[in-house]
Structure 1
Amino acid sequence: MKICLIAEGSYPYVAGGVSSWIHSLMHAMPEHEFIIYAIAAERKQQGKFNYSLPANAIEVHEFFLDDHLYEEAKSGKRYHLSDVQRNSLISLVNGSNNVDWAALFQLIRSNHFTNVGEFLSSKDYYDLVEDLAKTKYTHVPFTELFWTVGSMLLPLFMLVRGDIPKADIYHAVSTGYAGVVGALAKVIYNKPLILTEHGIYSREREEEIIKAHWVKGYFKDLWINYFYTLSNSIYTLADEIITLFERNKEIQVELGCDPEQIRIIPNGIDIHDYRHIVRTVQDDTIRIGAIVRLVPIKDIKMMIQAFALVEQQLPNVELFIMGPAEENEEYYEECMQLVQLLNSQKITFTGMVNIKEYLGDIDFLLLSSISEGQPLAILEGFACSKPFISTNVGSCRELIEGRPNDPFGPAGFIVPVMHYEEMANYIVKLCLDESLRLEMGQNGFNRVSSHYTRQAFIRSYKEIYQELGTVR
């Protein structure tokens, strides 16, 4: 069977998290062939993979969201849109869930479009923005609205006009642009479409846009609603929607998913991969770790602030932040500047490393994200009997405290998002209590061994592929 995995901003360019999940899935299914449809921000990322592809990954189809910068166009054309096409475009920029995606795809891929830039220089596009200006943005400069809407639509239209590899099943690992590609494949080829949503993509984009400096205040709602609308494309067209935990399912239902269509399949890990990890250093230093990409959504600054408070109270602590910094070098520099400003002496940024070489000597781990799905980092820590202190995002509370009727005790502590003082207090508590660290670490190991196995995770997806792949 040939399966097309559609990923945005992750595999194979970015290590960890969703990328590790994709890599593990392919390795576990040598009986299937996989095509990777990889969506990245910039063409300069082309071919710069962080993974050695498995033998059954037969193709990587790359798409770059900045490709629209290279298009040229003539202005003033009239496309003579039908009412359905015009209304779908209006719904798309209005943030409505009433987009007729099949009609929109047909329009964008039709021969009427010589290129995308030409449409965004057309009279039809001008009319579209004028309608938006009159109905929703009456006090916003028209030229700003005109260029803002264009910057939203350009990468989307380029994506829709692109080639879609042929496969037996299409499997998007997020909504957003990846979800649009999946929906487009469904419309073109009428093949089974699966969505696995690790975190809630539209919520994550909302959080980023609220904080973003590049979006003017009066356009933030325009961008936020736009990403919710994009997500709706695959919510309405997917044959199977998979999420990782109950709270994610509740949010998906709030956003318009049919609850009967959603299946919960947790992430899984093979604890046997970690059985050789042992402590190699015997001293009184408490070593704290973080397995994390250095990007704003992980809120590394909060972690740094918390550790700086701990460092003032305890002399024998070290923090190892283990993960790549290349994805957002500007944010990495800001983190380094914060370390210097707080005069922290015992924080080490390791860069991309084999975490198994560090975990044996780590006493416990931290996660300070403002948004997560079901972090593999926590499962990896639990597989080594390491407790966690985490912000209350995604399924972190469920992982650390257990689901209802879970027989195991807490495997760490949960703190509010951005509350570095409370995180510092719990760090000190664990640093001073070795027996508590050991007890919580054992609880985490028992929980991951019982409820989050790689065997169960892979078996579930094999069954889904087999079920959908034999229908047609």
Structure 2
Amino acid sequence: MKLTVMLSTEGTYPYFQGGVSTWCDILVRKLKTIDYVIFSVVADPFITPQFELPAHARLTQMPLWGTEEACEHLTTPFSQVYLAKKRTTSAVIKERFIPLFRELITELTVLEKNPLRLGALLFELHHYFQEYEYKESFKSELTWDVYKEMMAEACRKPGLRLPEPDIYSLIQSLGWTYRFFNILNNPIPRAHVSHSSAAAFCGIPSVLAKIANKTPLLLTEHGVYLREQYLSLSKRGLPPFLNTFLIRMVSSVVGLNYTYADQVSPVCEYNTRWETKLGVDPGKINVIYNGVDERVFQGARERAVNPPTVVTVARIDPNKDILTLIRAARLVKQQVPNVRFIIHGSVAVQDYYVECLELRDKLDLNETVIFAGHTTDMTAAYQSGDVIALSSMTEAFPYAVVEGMMTEKPVVATDVGGISEALGDTGYIVTPGSSGELADKLVLLLQNPLLRERLGKQARERALRFLTLNKVLEQHMKSYIQLALLGNGGGSAASGVSTEQLQKLHAEQAYILMSRGYYQEAAGEFRTALRLNPGAVSSPVLIGDLAECYSHLGEHDRARLELEKMKLLMKLAVVRKKHTA
């Protein structure tokens, strides 16, 4: 029996390209000894996947919008839906749903959050929706009357400080609650470990699994979800009531994820500053940097004599601040007249793309700035340039920087998120939004080939040391196994994973590492496997392979010692066999 991990996503894998989706796809494809259940929260049910899942992964889709009935995405037989509707009478709604609904709305709107209470409340609501119909409960006239009454009271309470809503804001805010918490209508997925890719609504199934089945929860944060929502709301121009309501709802869900997570793994140290301020126990935090495959993203190749070229790999999105990049291109062109800026990335926001094209036309850069669209050959994209540029206003630990470093290219990027942690002193960091700073560093590199070469080599060396795909896979595999042990009390049958199965997982990971030439890491996995079950029949074989790792590492004395252990174990096995014969 293989270890099963539920990986929950929101607006990313497997339906959209981007850094988070790339990270998900790496885990799902490369950790072949894990059975993955992908729980994907998406905007609507009609979207087409951009990634093909491997055989050891299966998909559950949870659409927030685009459905008439709350259970459309489920496989629930019509007869059960019909009977649930019949059972959801006005009396049931009044006596059973309304008390829970009142508590939910209170918890979502108060300033002082109680994540443990919210978790227990969501679990109660989940049980209610297993028997009674979701839409009938939320859209009853009684529920609407209670909601209006609660919001009117909340606006009068000095401690809540909710702005006065109009009728539109009341309808919209209740609609958000109805849509976002439809996740409670789903069955609780069964897995040995839950892994949420954000401290967001996609973490709710993991929290329910933690409460119901004691399933351990690993939370990865690429960007800080609450911070991203603040930034998004500042640009949306919502009425004050809706702005306040939504950020308080999000704050409740973020706190829920942080509280119930057994391990919080941001992709950079930068994120930990937010997490600790938001109440995450520092003892829970284990940073796991993004990494890439050095065999795919190879070092610099000989380039044909081309115009000086700056490459950017980023979707066309306001957060990537392509407008600043275009303004920097004009400044660079004044000193490097034949420069080319090539932008590889799909259009995420059409209006913003139009704005970029208009600026390019206004600055007479149609021959200089080229929008090349999405590419599947990332290595060729990076190798086509002399310098990699990233002008983002917000990032976590972007693959574009790590991939550029691994391809032996110098990087100029804005000082956001964990970019400075990735680059160290192998590239240049500039102020976000400063086209002048960005242009100055690009000109410096474009006009100095020796500096480009030196920084490019240092960048690849740093990436090989800290940011390899192998390190990502190793750290996630270890986290899964450690959490699985936590969930089953160290190997009991409670979670369905035995000590023998965990030993096998470690051994399989060791053989994968050996096949890739990572003998130090493989030796660590073999030692862990042997500690888990030293008396196993397979122990002599594992010891022999551990000895082989030591030989490859040049540690010949340790290799000989392990071989002696192997011989003794094999002799003992022969003796035992004779005595039992």
Q: TM-score, normalised by structure 2?
A: 0.74
Segment of structure 1 superposing worse, 162-171 or 31-40:
162-171
- The residue that corresponds to 1:211 in the other structure is 235
> Which of 173, 177, 182 is 1:153 aligned to?
177
Q: Percent identity?
A: 26
> Which of 310, 317, 331 is 1:309 aligned to?
331
Mapped to 1, the partners of 2:240 and 2:102 lie a distance apart of 27
Give 1:409-424 correspondences, 5 Å limit. 410-424=425-439
Inter-CA distance 384–139: structure 2 relative to 1 (3 Å threshold): closer
Give 1:440-451 correspondences, 5 Å limit. 440-451=455-466
- The residue that corresponds to 2:443 in the other structure is 428
- The residue that corresponds to 1:406 in the other structure is none
Q: Secondary structure at the match of 1:263?
A: coil
How many Å apart are 1:343 and its aligned residue?
2.3
Q: Which amino acid aligns with 2:349?
A: N
In the alignment, is the contact (CA less than 8 A) between 2:39 and 2:61 conserved in 1? yes
Structure (1 or 2) with the larger CA radius of gyration: 2
Q: Which amino acid aligns with 1:298?
A: K
| Higher RCO (CA-CA < 8 Å; seq separation 6+) | 1
- The residue that corresponds to 1:182 in the other structure is 206
- The residue that corresponds to 1:78 in the other structure is 94
Q: Which amino acid aligns with 2:254?
A: S
- The residue that corresponds to 2:59 in the other structure is 60
Mapped to 2, the partners of 1:367 and 1:144 lie a distance apart of 40
Mapped to 2, the partners of 1:131 and 1:80 lie a distance apart of 22
Q: Which amino acid aligns with 2:363?
A: L
Inter-CA distance 208–415: structure 2 relative to 1 (3 Å threshold): same
Mapped to 1, the partners of 2:21 and 2:163 lie a distance apart of 43
> Which of 271, 277, 293 is 2:315 aligned to?
293
Mapped to 1, the partners of 2:327 and 2:239 lie a distance apart of 29
Give 1:60-459 correspondences, 5 Å limit. 60-67=59-66, 70=69, 78-79=94-95, 86-99=102-115, 100=117, 101-111=119-129, 113-116=132-135, 118-120=137-139, 121=141, 122=143, 123-135=145-157, 136=160, 140-213=164-237, 215-217=238-240, 219-275=242-298, 278-283=301-306, 285-325=307-347, 327-345=348-366, 346-353=368-375, 354-400=377-423, 402=424, 410-459=425-474
Segment of structure 1 superposing worse, 388-397 or 215-224:
215-224
How many Å apart are 1:81 and its aligned residue?
6.1
In the alignment, is the contact (CA less than 8 A) between 1:281 and 1:361 conserved in 2? no
Inter-CA distance 81–397: structure 2 relative to 1 (3 Å threshold): same
Q: Which amino acid aligns with 1:415?
A: V
Q: Which amino acid aligns with 1:293?
A: R
Q: Secondary structure at the match of 1:271?
A: coil
Q: Deviations over 1:313-362 (max 9, x none)?
A: 4211111111122x333332332232223321211111111122222221
Inter-CA distance 444–93: structure 2 relative to 1 (3 Å threshold): same
Q: TM-score, normalised by structure 1?
A: 0.90
Segment of structure 1 superposing worse, 84-93 or 24-33:
84-93
RMSD: 2.5
The structure richer in helix per residue is 2
In the alignment, is the contact (CA less than 8 A) between 1:116 and 1:157 conserved in 2? no
Q: Which amino acid aligns with 1:114?
A: E
In structure 2, stretches of 5+ residues that fail to align are 72-84, 489-581
Mapped to 2, the partners of 1:138 and 1:411 lie a distance apart of 48
In structure 1, stretches of 5+ residues that fail to align are 403-409
How many Å apart are 1:83 and its aligned residue?
6.9
Q: Deviations over 1:393-435 (max 9, x none)?
A: 11111222x2xxxxxxx22211222222221222222222222
Segment of structure 1 superposing worse, 431-440 or 68-77:
68-77
Q: Secondary structure at the match of 1:219?
A: helix
Mapped to 2, the partners of 1:133 and 1:145 lie a distance apart of 13
